[in-house]
Chain A
């Protein structure tokens, strides 16, 4: 209940904060035409974009963690985001300026292939220490984005590459693409129990008659669709898929069927707060939201990483 209240408060705040100060509830009620236009064409789409992308990436992170059985996995630590960026860049280099739909398809295809390769490699490697996996994932992501840089230099698209790698809710040109996130979110709701069950292991899933490989593939498609559609319209939102599921599961547990809506709201509240901070620190201008998220999220991630390392030590000491 608390999370619903917080969500409503911050969503309303987000709607009524902005450079145009005449946009108030009073102005809206008075039928001020300019206030109405700003509300409909700027504030509402922006708030929706924040909510949907945050909810989407939170779910994507938890699904990824269930598939890999690793609490440190997420779209930004498995190469998914970097592969989505590569896809977007390639569509620009070879096809020029394209509609959001084409860009999303390219991003999605690359994200899916990139994540699939990483998941496959990780499942073969038998790494005991779970904290190494996100580090490997970040190296893998680094390699993909290095490849992107080479391509960008070669085809003189450096400016485009830099632009897409900054996450922002202040982009011109509509946020319609982020509504696409609703599709994988609905799939995730339907598959919630199955995702939770495969999170308990392959044999556990097979015992219950769950088709393990099919559920893993569905999960990868969900994660890639969410990553691609948020990346194309907003850009990278680092750490969301990593820290939100970890924070949310300590309150709501890992049973996705029970916790999926709370998880979405939790993620939305976090990004709404970050977005509001970004808009207020240098008001009336605004800071890049991915910068705020990186600062806040990076600090939280460090806490989890340190806890993870020491947690492992404690477990070893017990054994």
Chain B
């Protein structure tokens, strides 16, 4: 279980501007939690604090009752995996190399039979076995993102934190990615916390929504309660237009008063 208690964070110790103010939450197990909010709301910072990439200035993050700041880096990396939005790579490594790096916390770079088996499993789970000897730079954005997820699977952690995994992915790959995450929860009992920009994706795939505004948690709850204009209009400081599709709310981002926007006028 991951529990965040009264966490505060700012850019530096002296800075008065806070990026997180008194944030407390309990991560929902075996579910996808989506962090949503405007730019600078503190979503990524919260993710970094929860994974101890950026240790909290005050307050604690407890992993199964233990303060993550006091855990050994190696032990933490066997429990919690963290992936930043797809990064620009300037190294030539193959899919296989990358997935093997995922075993580092378990074997320190010297892979044993068990580690090779985990690598095989991760590759086949993500349908990458045929691409394993290709260099990452030769892959499409979607394949590359899948390779990183395969690495996280090889890392074999119960908790997976993803910061904007849909960045740079087109619609087809975004849907594929969200389906994979759902599968990870259902088949492998993972707990996933993900920062999403697209509210419709959050509404469709997340089990739990955490809406953040100005470094605080504004609202937390299941999608049907959280994905509403009452919650999201103040969170994004924007008037959403909602349409209904097969009983599901779909958010339209366009300005209702915009005369050029035909969707809104109808």
Contacts and interface: CB of A to CB of B under 8 A. Distances in A.
Interface of A: 66, 69-71, 130, 192-194, 196-197, 199-201, 203-204, 206-211, 249-250, 253-255, 257-258
A207 B93 contact: no
B89 A200 contact: yes
12 contacts: A66-B91, A71-B90, A196-B101, A203-B84, A206-B82, A207-B77, A208-B101, A208-B155, A209-B105, A253-B97, A254-B91, A257-B109
A60 B84 CA distance: 29
A210 B89 contact: no
Contact of B92 (A193, A207, A253): A253
Given A201-B87, A209-B76, A254 B105 contact: no
Given A71-B90, A209-B76, A209-B77, A255 B97 contact: yes
Nearest to A207: B82
A69 B88 CA distance: 11
**Chain B interface secondary structure, helix, strand, loop or mixed?**
mixed
Interface string B44-77: 0000000101000000000000000000111111
Nearest to B157: A207
A199 B155 CA distance: 18
A200 B88 CA distance: 9
B177 interface: no
Interface of B: 51, 53, 72-78, 81-84, 87, 89-94, 97, 101-102, 104-105, 108-109, 135, 155
Contact of A208 (B72, B89, B94, B102): B102
A69 B90 contact: yes
A199 B101 contact: no
Contacts of A207: 51, 53, 77, 81-83, 155
Nearest to A202: B53
Nearest to B109: A193
Contacts of B89: 200
B101 A197 contact: yes
B109 A194 contact: yes
A192 B87 CA distance: 22
Nearest to A208: B104
A194 B101 CA distance: 9
Contacts of A197: 101, 104
List the 5 closest pairs (A to B, CB-CB), nearest first.
Answer: A193-B109, A209-B77, A254-B91, A209-B74, A255-B97
A197 B100 CA distance: 11
A211 B104 CA distance: 12
Contacts of A249: 91-92
A209 B97 contact: no
Contact of A254 (B76, B87, B93, B104): B93
A255 B93 contact: yes
B109 A192 contact: yes
B84 to A, nearest CB: 6
B119 to A, nearest CB: 13
A199 B97 CA distance: 13
A196 B93 contact: yes
